[in-house]
Structure 1
Amino acid sequence: MKYTTHLKEIVMLIKELVSIPSPTGNTNKVIEFCAQYLKGLNIEMKRNHKGGLLITIPGKNNEKHRMLTAHVDTLGAMVKEIKPNGRLKLSMIGGFRWNAVEGEYCTIETETGHTYSGTILMKQTSVHVYKDAGEAKRNDENIEVRIDEKTTNAEETRMLGINVGDFVSFDPRVQLTASGFIKSRHLDDKASTAILLRIIKWIQEEGIELPYTTHFLISNNEEIGYGGNSNIPTETVEYVAVDMGAIGEGQSSDEYTVSICAKDSSGPYHYGLRKHFVNLARENKIDYRVDIYPYYGSDASAAIKAGHDIVHGLIGPGIESSHAFERTHESSLMNTEKLLIAYIQSPLVI
């Protein structure tokens, strides 16, 4: 059956996903959203002990399996300390730099589920007070959260129910432009998650029979390195992480094509599987780029490090300004979707 892209639905699904706070360690709401999206499709779903969502679709061949994963956990922070002035010192969750969130609106979620808004600022923000406002280091000591409540000391902040260990999430500021761009935090990796969810829905609604039993893992610990390194069925032969292509100077990835990773900081991805992706892209007239990401790791590389005997690959939409003010284009989503559809219906490489 010829596949017709569901681009508009994928874009709106991305908008919904990025709007659900889900820093690593606090992902239950977004995982539940994914489960609800697939509810009623007569599909096998279960939660692993880590809290991720595992979906299994039987195929013609049940002796050898495929597995694809995308992650919904995002960058974020935790309250490290309540300062004497009532503001909050943060501890990072995930690999970002403080300058990437300076000036950002945020949400503090207490242990009871109550939320407060705030702004992430340098304590030396006011140029009328601090001579070094522009030169001061953006680091743990100087970054703080200004809470949008009347609090001037640590005790007043604690009276709000805010404590050390509370999660802090960043405002996504999602925007969809008339020119086809999606601007938002957390496109890493909710853009890929939206694509996988829509493909799963298509398979079930159209009654597509896959050549191999295929598992889809919506991972929730990728940003700290171990979201998809377990719960891999022993029959799994190929394991593909669907995650962002990193864009920048010296990179071949862009916002309009699907990125196929040849190597990241963990080392090369499986050469045969990489060539298979390239051949599928050429055969199906899919715009693609092959790239190397120098400071990057994925759930697929985590699975390899965990000792699984699998063939591993990595593809995904190109994301500009990763781990900061991210952006991609509809054409990148569409090319990624098309390559994934071709892949799940193709022969294994081994």
Structure 2
Amino acid sequence: MSRLSIDADYLADMLAKLLAIPSPTGYTDTIVRFVARELASFGLDVELTRRGAIRVVRPGHTHLGARALVAHVDTLGAQVKFLKPNGRLALVPIGTWSARFAEGARCTVFTEKGSYTGTILPLKASGHTFNDEVDSLPIGWDYVEMRVDARARNAGDLSRLGFDVGDIVAIDPQPEFLESGFVVSRHLDDKAGVAVILAALKALHESNTKTPVDTCWLFSISEEVGVGASAVLTSDVASLIAIDNGTSAPGQASDEFGVTVCLADQSGPFDYHLTKKLVELCRANDIRYQKDVFRYYRSDSASAVVAGADVRTALLTFGIDASHGYERIHMHALRSLAELITAYVQSPVEITRDFQPTAGLKGFTRQPSQEADQILSPDVRSGDLGT
């Protein structure tokens, strides 16, 4: 097996189209329709859960031990907390992100009567009025407000225009695709991951590549609030790889170039054997990679495991600078990640015991342990117990 060639122009174009569709958690119907149509163009049958999580299956040689890859279409955003007496909107965040990155953001609020643009501003926004007090104002969602681009001087004006508590606010991504290959935008987490999966699927489709087992391609709609892939897996899936952002920052090994393989996040270590396999595939296919551990991070895979899915999990990422802020990535990482995905889905299944939900000890995996080698008898070391 070997990595497939990735259409980088398609990948960048798809990312631009995804970024152009507002999709904060709770407001994902439009992007679900877009992604579903793109998947159908590859000849795949699209299934949606009740709320809109997407699942497609690309058939392999057998449905046993199916593999799954997941990215999320939802992004960070905000929601109207209440209508303020000064004609502005108090906000609460959707997902976990700092109001520091909200200050100055252009945005769109969706009401029952239509959408309005606006700007998120600190409570003391006028330098000519507040002078140094602008800098001394605390950082937090209690210290920002949304100024809507409408004639609203008080809460009554806002109400007559159709604004209400709970209205969803989408933050404008303001993307820039630079000739150097860098992409600067909000919401690269995880629309870049969605674009990567689509680019990998395009390569598999156009090459008519066969795979040893079925591959499920999943797109969740509420990862940013911790729900993720909790309700989109089927029982035949034995392994799940989340495609998401890596945290390029001081003290981290993530990089904006190549694939960043995550060994653990705040939910604990990822599967030893699946992660090892992915690293070996990088080496065998000359794909640049690095390993990292994330402290304040939780992905789709954790949601699936907490929901009761007994699957091996791994996390593959593209390094993002300033994650959950005004983010930056490089196309090299996205292309590398798509190449690795194509190599992975073609690779043979080594742990065939995973074809069944439960089995005896025979064929069960082993992790290297000098102490175990000294203590256990030869038949136990080989895993050859039972029938």
Q: Which residue of 2 aligns with 1:284?
A: 285
Deviation of 1:140 (Å): 2.5
Q: What pairs with 1:1-350 in structure 2 (closer than 5 Å)? A: 3-112=4-113, 114-130=114-130, 131-350=132-351
Change (3 A) 1:2 1:89: closer
Inter-partner Cα distance in structure 2 for 1:208 and 1:253: 31
Aligned AA (2:206)? E
Inter-partner Cα distance in structure 2 for 1:286 and 1:57: 24
TM (normalized to structure 2)? Answer: 0.88
Deviation of 1:177 (Å): 0.6
Deviation of 1:161 (Å): 0.9
Inter-partner Cα distance in structure 2 for 1:2 and 1:104: 40
Inter-partner Cα distance in structure 1 for 2:335 and 2:199: 12
State the secondary structure of the residue aligned to 2:107: strand
> Of the two, which has the highest radius of gyration?
2
Q: Deviations over 1:147-167 (max 9, x none)?
A: 111110111111111111111
Q: Which residue of 1 aligns with 2:367?
A: none
State the secondary structure of the residue aligned to 1:243: strand
Deviation of 1:43 (Å): 1.1
Deviation of 1:338 (Å): 1.1
Aligned AA (1:201)? K
Unaligned runs of 5+ in 2: 352-387
Inter-partner Cα distance in structure 2 for 1:335 and 1:200: 14
Q: Which has the higher helix share?
A: 2
Among all aligned residue pairs of Structure 1 and Structure 2, give the percentage whose two residues are the same amino acid.
38
Aligned AA (2:116)? Y
Deviation of 1:349 (Å): 4.7
What's the C-alpha RMSD, in Å, of the aligned pairs?
1.3
Deviates more, 1:21-30 or 1:195-204: 195-204
Inter-partner Cα distance in structure 2 for 1:21 and 1:106: 10
Change (3 A) 1:157 1:349: farther
* Contact kept in structure 2, 1:243 and 1:317, CA below 8 Å: yes
Deviation of 1:203 (Å): 2.4
* Contact kept in structure 2, 1:276 and 1:349, CA below 8 Å: no
Deviates more, 1:187-196 or 1:37-46: 37-46
Aligned AA (1:133)? V
* Contact kept in structure 1, 2:212 and 2:349, CA below 8 Å: no
